[in-house]
Structure 1
Amino acid sequence: MSYDLLTRAWIPVREGETRSKIGLRELFLRAHELTDIEASPPPAASGLWRALTVMAARITGLDDTSLPIEEWGELQGEVLDAGRFDPAAVEKYFAKFAGRFDLFDEDRPWLQDPRLREQCKTSSGVNKLVLYRPAGNNQVWFNHVTARNPLPVPADEAVFHLLIQLYYGPSGQCTPRTVNGVSERNTKAGPLRRTLSFHPLGRTVFESLVAGIPPARELDTGGVDLAPWEADELPDPLGVPPKPSGIAGVLTGRFQHAVLLEGSPDGESVTDAWITWAWRNRDLPARDPYLVYHQTKDGEYLPLSAEAHRALWRDFDSLILEDVGDDRRRRPVVLAAVEDLRGTLLPVLRVRAFGVDQDGQTRDKEWVTGVTPALLALAREPEVARAVSEMRQAAERVEVHLRGALRQAWIAINDPSNGDGKPQRKDISEGPWPGNASFRYWPRAERIFWRRVREREFGRAVEEFLRLALEIYDEVTDSAGMLPRAKRAIELKRGLIFKTRKPGGKTGRGDG
């Protein structure tokens, strides 16, 4: 039983309008011909791009932590000028780890721990592997696969679910694992759980991969720079985890889950899976180069959370500026590095986001994905970048006050005071109007935002957002009818929208 990821067709790719599936070796040999990788679900793509980036860094020599930043940048430019990955370097790298890319290898299955078959009394089940399948006592909603009917997962799809479990897996209880007499049944969350990743997107897979390699020196912490498939020995689950360092250590060396897949006799599908804890001593801190970090009230920097209701453009200024907003957001390391790509690539680079809106444990709400226009070059124009940020913040202030005005109008209509003085009732909710307004506001505000960015029209942007807010205020409150009581409350509260003209105060991440 074998499923060699080097040669089997499992990676969905696009070349122009043509779509196909190829293996790892062909991907790197033809990366300059391929337009994009179309992996799904989105969080699996996030994990795949990280693994591919490690391979790309090894093949190009951009994994060298001893190179000063300037020399590293020169080497990256030379790689891009070559226009493709060196075929000899590709073959050399994959030949060095030829037996490590088999999904069902008995001794070293790719990104898995073969010891789980003996260390776990029971398996987790193939349903547990697939994020959107119900497992255990969970309710059946949109997928009617049950524990009594665990349909096999095609091997090419199972690879992506393996990546999701390793990068976005939940914390809390898991399948019990016993190692040298120590039995535990809980784990920490995967390193990317709840986060939103930002990846450079070029015109080809080759450009995307090379532009997406972070400067190795900035990830050097003096620890271990090895991907799981590069290590000679399997890790000791009871030992001290190696300190993640370098491109491989940071991108593929921080997993909290151990996974093992059971293949069908013909190797074409996965019929069972083990998913459990990987470490007991579990401190694996590192700054991921694809994440935006924000400062908490305690001064600690944490990754920005993925929120399905929040449009990508509202974080665009965090991709081109440092210390954005009240929480002093820090841009992804990899995007700061691409500023030096001043030739033909920087003006065409876009940014793609991947993530999952989820809690820390078992609740997964929605995939998050999006692509920005090719405007990363704005990072080299600080005044323009700051103007972009101020415009985004103005849009958010307007939405906050729009919601506030609608909340107060709804309360006034339903309160005996009818808006005169403080409400007399304390049990009136904000009503449906604020949510309805946010739903209408953000898509239209986004069109205003990108138009003004492209045209570099930043003056009096707040006035245009205010006009939009007033239009939406009228649209939403139109359902209140023509009763004098309702009209009076609506008109009294309309003016609250204009509090936006007085900048200041914090703007939340909000909806939209």
Structure 2
Amino acid sequence: MPFDLLSRDWLPVRAGDTRSVVGLRELFASAHELTDIEASPPPAASGLWRVLTVIAARVTGLDDMTLPADEWSARQEKVLEGGRFDPEELRKYFGKLSGRFNLFDQYRPWLQDPRLRQECKGSSGINKLVMSRPAGNNQVWFNHATAFDPPPLPAEEAVFHLLTQLYYGPSGQCTPRTVAETSAGNSKAGPLRRTISFHPLGSTLFESLIAGIPPAYRYDRGGADLAPWETDELPNPLSVPPKPSGLGGVLTGRFQHAVLLEPSADENSVVNAWITWAWRNRELPADDPYLVYQQNKEGAYYARQADASRALWRDFDSLILEDVGDEGRRRPAVLAAVEDMRGTLLSTLQVRAFGFDQDGQTRDKEWTVGVTPALLALANETQVARAISQMRQAAETVERNLEWALRMVWEAINDPSNGDGKAQRRDIPKGPWPAQGAFRYWIRAEQIFWRRIRGRDFDSPVNDFLRLALNVYDEVTNSAGSLPRVKRAIELKRGLIFRQVPFTSRPQHA
């Protein structure tokens, strides 16, 4: 039986406390009854939401780049008032693309290139497809699926790993591919590699999808607005990549990898894979509507990178302010657009973040997911939004000082030549205390942050963070002992917490 993503059950969904697995057709038909999608891993979910957004825009007419801003917003509001996707529009869209959602189609497998079987001398292996598996010369740590014993991958899981590769795949060496006279074995990074992606989250899947459609008129760049499954021909890998125009082009038309999955005889699992380069020419840039952009020293904007050690609340001001001054940050375009939904969803929308902490080439560190409270309406209160940003900056300033104080006291205590709390040697490592302090601080600082926002209390928040830092400083240094020179060093370095921090009075630590 063909693995048709429209009819086969592969998408895990939730309706309240009830969980089930559905295909794409049922997902859209019952989106108003479903609470959420429970896709994993998070990078795959990030890619999946972009794919679903393109389909949602197609069947609602919100992909029309010719609509001016006010007409586009009016159409979005009308769609929301309808409360569900139009069954007839769904039938027409999926009907005209019959066969294009077959995962293992001989000629047009979904989001894949069937030519790789002939153009690549060898395959990449199923382990290469799954980023959490060891491949090549990588060491075996958490998964023992070695190249000598690669277990098959269920087809429904393979879809998510396919999406992860296309959106977050590495740059550098890959399986060699030969097209005409051109042979190469290196690829560019996927369009979302190293990034953190922010998506509106409503009370139903329908609300989340409609709120997550960015204004199409922003992406009219003169190219064809087509998703890969909507094109009639496979792309020429030696030509110039198409302009990322429209929602189809921006969200699903910027892949830098070509992938092909080999199914088992019954098409219920994947037993092998080819992963290689998709283009040899330079890709054309485009701003993704779900990313935060910030300026470098030269004033150019680049996508904010994911950092697994950075809590989501520290980016909250980037979601409600058009321009965060301390880093020149620019909020995601899709969140700027939801401000117009004051009378519908704005007061109830949350934001979900999908992050993948990676380097630019092959090292994958950690993926993360987080959800903010339903506070996007604060974007309409500029003074409050600015106060929130200042509170976040105060928390970060205090934490940097805390880490510096803990580093300096560690050096002073562990310097044999130290007699008065001043380190004399320069070769002493910074020690474990700064990391211990940061871990303790950020967890409790988040509680202060949300408590003050909910209470609309923005009066001298730095004092709360200073008080917290003093307590953490005492907790971390408590294990140092009671020798006089140790106590002297601890007290001398405590004052570093107050460096360049505006405050009205020094708070007393508990």
TM-score, structure 2 length as denominator?
Answer: 0.97
Q: Does the CA-based 8 Å contact 1:419-1:492 persist in structure 2?
A: no
Q: Secondary structure at the match of 1:124?
A: coil
Moved more, 316-325 or 247-256: 316-325
Q: Which residue of 1 aligns with 2:359?
A: 359
Superposed displacement of residue 60, structure 1? 0.2
- Aligned match of 2:506: none
Moved more, 184-193 or 428-437: 428-437
For residue 99 of structure 1, give the secondary structure of its aligned residue in structure 2.
coil
The answer for the alignment partner of 1:380 in structure 2 is 380
1:487 match: 487
Aligned residues: 503
Q: Look up the equivalent residue of 1:3 and give its one-letter code.
A: F
Provide the residue aligned with 2:152 in structure 1: 152
Shift of 1:431: 1.2
Match of 1:191 in 2: 191
Residue by residue over 1:240-277, the C-alpha shift from the partner in whole angstroms, topping out at 9 and shown as x without a partner, is: 11110110100000000000001111110001100000
Give 1:446's aligned residue: 446
Q: Bigger CA drift: 374-383 or 424-433? A: 424-433
Q: Contact 1:241–1:279 at 8 Å: present in 2 too?
A: yes
Q: Does 1:76 align with 2:76?
A: yes
Q: Structure 1 unaligned runs (5+)?
A: 504-512
Whether the aligned pair in 2 keeps the contact of 1:40 and 1:160 (CA below 8 Å) is yes
Written as runs of structure 1 = structure 2, the 5 A alignment for 1:6-155 is: 6-155=6-155
Corresponding position of 2:230: 230
Q: Which residue of 2 aligns with 1:242?
A: 242
CA contact (8 A) 1:398 1:500 kept: no
Shift of 1:142: 0.8
Contact 1:419 1:489 in 2 (8 A): no
Partners in 1 of 2:155 and 2:322 — Cα distance? 42
Q: Which residue of 2 aligns with 1:219?
A: 219
Q: Which string of whole-angstrom CA distances, capped at 9 and with x for unpartnered residues, describes residues 441-460 of structure 1?
A: 00100000001111111101
In structure 2, the residue matched to 1:182 is 182
TM-aligned CA deviation for residue 99 of structure 1: 1.2
Percent identical residues = 73
Cα distance, 1:287 vs structure 2: 0.1
Distance 1:488 1:340 in 2: 58
Determine the C-alpha separation between the residues in 2 that align with 1:47 and 1:148.
30
Deviations 1:193-246 (A, max 9, x none): 000000000000000000000000112211221000000110000001111011
Q: Equivalences for 1:449-464 in 2 at 5 Å? A: 449-464=449-464
Supply the distance in 2 between the matched residues of 1:425 and 1:223 (Cα, whole angstroms): 62
The 3 A distance-change label for structure 1 pair 419 and 343 is farther
Alignment-mate amino acid for residue 113 of structure 2: D
Indicate conservation of the 8 Å contact 1:413/1:419, yes or no: no
Q: 2:140, 2:240 → 1: CA distance?
A: 39
Could you tell me how far apart the structure 2 residues matched to 1:265 and 1:208 are? 37
Separation in 1 of the partners of 2:177 and 2:242? 21
The secondary structure found in structure 1 opposite 2:148 is: coil
Distance 2:318 2:327 in 1: 11
Structure 1 position 421, deviation (Å): 8.2
Report the more deviating stretch, 439-448 or 429-438. 429-438
Q: What is the root-mean-square deviation of aligned Cα atoms in Å?
A: 1.1
Are 2:312 and 1:323 equivalent residues in the alignment?
A: no
Q: Which residue of 2 aligns with 1:303?
A: 303
Counterpart residue number, 1:260: 260
Kept in 2, the 8 Å contact 1:63–1:216? The answer is: yes
Gaps in structure 2 of 5+ consecutive residues? 504-510
Shift of 1:422: 5.9
Measure, in 2, the Cα distance between the counterparts of 1:63 and 1:341: 18
**Secondary structure, aligned partner of 1:206:** helix
Alpha carbons 2:421, 2:485 under 8 Å: kept: no
Report which stretch shifted further, 476-485 or 406-415. 406-415
Give the 3-state SS of the residue equivalent to 2:275 in structure 1: strand
Q: Deviations over 1:125-155 (max 9, x none)?
A: 1111111011111111110111111111000
Compared CA separation, residues 419 and 369, structure 1 to 2 (3 A)? farther
State the alpha-carbon separation in 1 of the partners of residues 160 and 53 from structure 2: 16
Partners in 1 of 2:265 and 2:113 — Cα distance? Answer: 19
Contact kept in structure 1, 2:352 and 2:369, CA below 8 Å = yes
Is 1:170–1:360's contact at 8 Å kept on the other side of the alignment? Answer: yes
1:284 deviates by 2.4
1: distance between equivalents of 2:10 and 2:391? Answer: 43
Secondary structure of the 1:302 match is strand
In structure 1, what is the Cα distance between the partners aligned to 2:488 and 2:159? Answer: 60
Which residue identity lines up with residue 402 of structure 1 in the other structure? L
Hey, what does 2:282 align to over in structure 1? 282
Give how far 1:419 is off: 7.3
Q: Distance in 2 between matches of 1:419 and 1:396?
A: 32
Q: Is the 1:190–1:256 Cα contact (8 Å) retained in structure 2?
A: yes
Contact 2:125–2:274 (CA under 8 A) maintained in structure 1: yes
| Equivalent residues of 2:421, 2:489 under 8 A apart | no
SS state at 2:294 partner: strand
Q: Is the 8 A contact 1:256 1:282 kept in 2?
A: no
Distance 2:280 2:56 in 1: 31
1:150-171, Cα deviation, whole Å (9 max, x unpaired): 1110000000000000000000
Bigger mean CA deviation after superposition, 290-299 or 418-427: 418-427
CA distance in 1, matches of 2:444, 2:419: 30
**Partner residue in 2 for 1:506:** none
SS of equivalent residue, structure 2 residue 243 = coil
Is the 1:155–1:267 Cα contact (8 Å) retained in structure 2? yes
Q: Residue deviations 1:427-472, cap 9 Å, x none?
A: 0121111110001000100000001111111101000111100000
1:408 to 2:434 alignment: no
> Distance in 1 between the 2:502 and 2:109 partners?
60
Give the secondary-structure state (helix, strand or coil) at the position aligned to 2:229. Answer: coil
> Is this contact kept in 1: 2:419–2:485, CA < 8 A?
no
**CA–CA distance in structure 1, aligned partners of residues 303 and 77 of structure 2:** 29
In 2, distance between residues paired with 1:500 and 1:63? 49
Q: CA deviation at 1:479?
A: 0.6
CA distance in 2, matches of 1:379, 1:329: 15
